[in-house]
Structure 1
Amino acid sequence: MKNAKKIISALMLGMFVFSAVGCDMIEKTPEGIAKQVVAKVNDEKITKGDMDKLLKQSGVIASIEQQYGTNYSSNEEAMSALQQQKEQLLDQKVTEVLVLQKAKELKLVPSDSELDKQVTTQYNATKKNYKTESAWNTVLKNAGFTVADLKQQIRNGIIEQKVLNYIYKGISITDAQAQAYYEKNKSQYTEQPNTINVSHILLKTEDDAKKVEARLKNGEDFAKVAKEVSTDDGSKVKGGNLGNIQQGDTNYDPTFLAAAFKLSDGQVSDPVHTQFGWHVIKCIKKTTYPVKAFDKVKAEIKSTLLKQKQQTKQQDTINKWKKAASITKYEKNL
């Protein structure tokens, strides 16, 4: 069952990770509520019914129930979190609708016969993971899909990929660009990740950090000072020691890591400012490895830079299309 959800979730990623005023009596019926407009993209409407279905298919409701319980509607924090998720999904849905509209405008939509063939191929490839028709139908039902829903999602994904290919056309990375990136980022391409065993003392102000720096220069023990004045409760009990950290570890502030890796064994830094405050950093032991030759990593670098360039072009293009479109949202109807 978990595998089924993963497969369907992957298909949901095909969606771009790019006014309802009337008679109250009509609006309060289930049918009327489902027809309430939550957004308009040019002349195309997105309804509350569309979004309620998407909420289930994307797993948002299941996630909220898991975190807050099935009676989450009485929990203010849960409802706030749910509203944020709804608004994010609406943004994604608006983008999807706009992109599908642009696909028609740019004549990028494949013929019906070609689309049907590709949809059938992808649908069958997903379905074959289940031994029986009953097991497959159960998976779809639990995920909030009908066969028609899933085929439509696959169909949209195919069209969206055509739009991406259109956006990405002409984007490339030269060997010279890759070489320049390599020269500036050699530490990312070592035979093994460089590591550092590091300690720090975290202070609230620059003045506090300078006072600590002076104490250390006068010969006081780093660990002793850390235990006395560091505001990092997690490390101060260990004399400020953070243990071994790999270069590029995303769990740490980039400015902090850059300053730490500039140090030699036993060296203490000048005060370093990050989003968390002011640090005085000590390198206990740094372990470095040889840098791989450029030819060994050229393809990897070009792939990385290409994806970055494509993502930037994609976002710029979508933003440009959104500015030119007529888009109205009615979040109160979500």
Structure 2
Amino acid sequence: MKNIKKLVSTALITMFAFSAVGCNMIEKTPEAIAKSPVAVVNGEKITRGELDKSADMMGVVAQLKQKYGENYDKNDEAKEILKTERQKVVDKMVTEKVIEQKAKELKLMPDESKLKTEVDKQYSDTKQQFESSGAKFDEVLKKEGFTEQSLKDFFLAQTRNNEIFKNVTDNLSKDIKIDDKKVGDYYNSNKNQFTEKPNKIHVAHILVKTEDEAKKVKERLDKGEEFGKVAKEVSTDPGSKDKGGDLGTVPYVDSGFDPKFMEAAIALKEGTISGPVQTSFGYHIIKAIKKEEYPVKKLDSVKDQIRKQLEDEEKQKVVSQKIEEWKKAAKIKTYEKNLQ
């Protein structure tokens, strides 16, 4: 619930910092537009008003106002961005609506009385946060067109969506178990993730377009030509060419480099040079200049960590697949014309 509170409070601060978008919509557009559907999910309507008052869209509009000013909606570039972002948020709201409908069907809806208690606390905490900074909260609410109840309704919608998703996730993943064999297999295949300190490698490369070019580069190096000299002559990597192919020191895990490149680099002994290694960038000749490797932690000390990681990954997979199934089975109609 702490994460939910943080997200909702952040959304509120964003609204107040950059003006009440919802109110502006009511002032600038006919009431009919606010009531027009942007999507219908199994007979339940999502309106343009609900879309424009959502926390996601309020954040988008706040950013557009920062970049393009108060008249952002007159700027062609901003209008295109706004339309694209509206479509993304509609897609998200459709998914949320499908999940909510299934939660009702499966009797997984959160307890409304508990939600109300949590929302009252969120409201109180947010009010205290504003007033501690010297702002008069009631005046801020009035200025931005909110009442105590409408603000609580905003909090309630956000909190309810988070609780629904949690309940559905817990239900769909309740039978997921990761046995010791899977834990052990993952450990044995990913020992670089479990070293006492992060393993690192100082690496250089020469990048060329074709395998034949890479083979010719390797032949030159095998005959004794200096790696950095050859890299400056033939490498096509603009970021490292002038440095003699030097890419610096990077960790084995989360290096930011292509996985195939890192696999080949890690496999090298310190001071040795690889044969051609193909990635989406072309063909590399890789040199392991220096390696820093540390002992691997014992399985018993990391097995709980691994089990939780694998469980979380499996839960995400199961839940994503099920939600996609629900969406495919649902009757969904969107109204692009109402996003203008």
Q: TM-score range by the shorter chain?
A: 0.7 to 0.9
Cα distance in 2 for residues equivalent to 1:75 and 1:279: 46
Residue type matched to 1:134 in 2?
Answer: K
Corresponding residue for residue 302 of structure 2 = 297
Deviation digits for residues 196-229 of structure 1 (CA, Å, limit 9, x no counterpart):
0000111122222222122212221110111111
1:32 aligns with 2:37: no
Which residue is 1:134 aligned to? 136
Instruction: Provide the aligned C-alpha RMSD in A.
Output: 2.9
Contact 2:271 2:290 in 1 (8 A): yes
CA shift for structure 1 position 159? 2.5
Query: 1:304 Cα deviation (Å)?
Result: 0.6
Moved more, 101-110 or 238-247: 101-110
Aligned position for 1:183: 188
**Alignment partner of 2:247: what SS?**
strand
Q: Tell me the distance in 2 between the aligned counterparts of 1:173 and 1:67.
A: 48
Contact 1:182–1:294 (CA under 8 A) maintained in structure 2: yes
The separation in 2 between residues aligned to 1:99 and 1:203, in whole angstroms, is: 49
Give the drift of 1:78.
4.3
Q: 1:236 aligns with which of 229, 236, 241?
A: 241
Matches within 5 A, 1:1-334: 7-8=7-8, 30-54=30-54, 59-67=59-67, 72-73=72-73, 77-124=77-124, 128-132=128-132, 134-135=136-137, 138=140, 146-334=151-339
Give the gaps of 5 or more residues in structure 1. Answer: 13-27
Report the Cα distance in structure 2 between the residues aligned to 1:70 and 1:231, rounded to whole angstroms.
46
Q: Relative to structure 1, is the Cα distance of residues 135 and 116 closer, same or farther in structure 2, using a 3 angstrom cutoff?
A: closer
| 1:74-123 per-position Cα deviation (integer Å, ceiling 9, x unaligned) | 65554444333222211111111111111111111244434433443455
8 Å CA contact 2:276–2:285 kept in 1: the answer is yes
Tell me whether 30-39 or 56-65 shows the greater mean CA deviation.
56-65
Q: CA 1:151–1:110 in 2, change beyond 3 Å: closer, same or farther?
A: closer
SS in 1 for 2:244: coil
Distance 1:268 1:52 in 2: 57
1:34 is aligned with what amino acid?
Answer: A
Deviations 1:299-320 (A, max 9, x none): 1101110110000011011011
- Partners of 2:236 and 2:40 in 1: CA distance: 50
For the Cα contact (< 8 Å) 2:42–2:331, is it kept in 1? yes
Give the conservation status (yes or no) of the 8 Å contact 1:196–1:285: yes
Contact 2:11 2:59 in 1 (8 A): no
The TM-score, its normalising length taken from structure 1, stands at 0.84
C-alpha separation in 1, matches of 2:9 and 2:268: 44
Contact preservation (8 Å) 1:248, 1:254: no
Structure 2 residue runs of 5 or longer lacking an equivalent are: 13-27
The aligned amino acid for 1:95 is T
Give me the TM-score of the superposition, normalised by structure 2. 0.82
Q: Is the 8 A contact 2:119 2:155 kept in 1?
A: no
Percentage of identical aligned residues: 47
Residue 261 (structure 1) shift: 0.8
Aligned residues: 315
The one-letter amino acid paired with 1:93 is: M
Verify the 8 A CA contact 1:196 1:244 in the aligned structure 2: yes
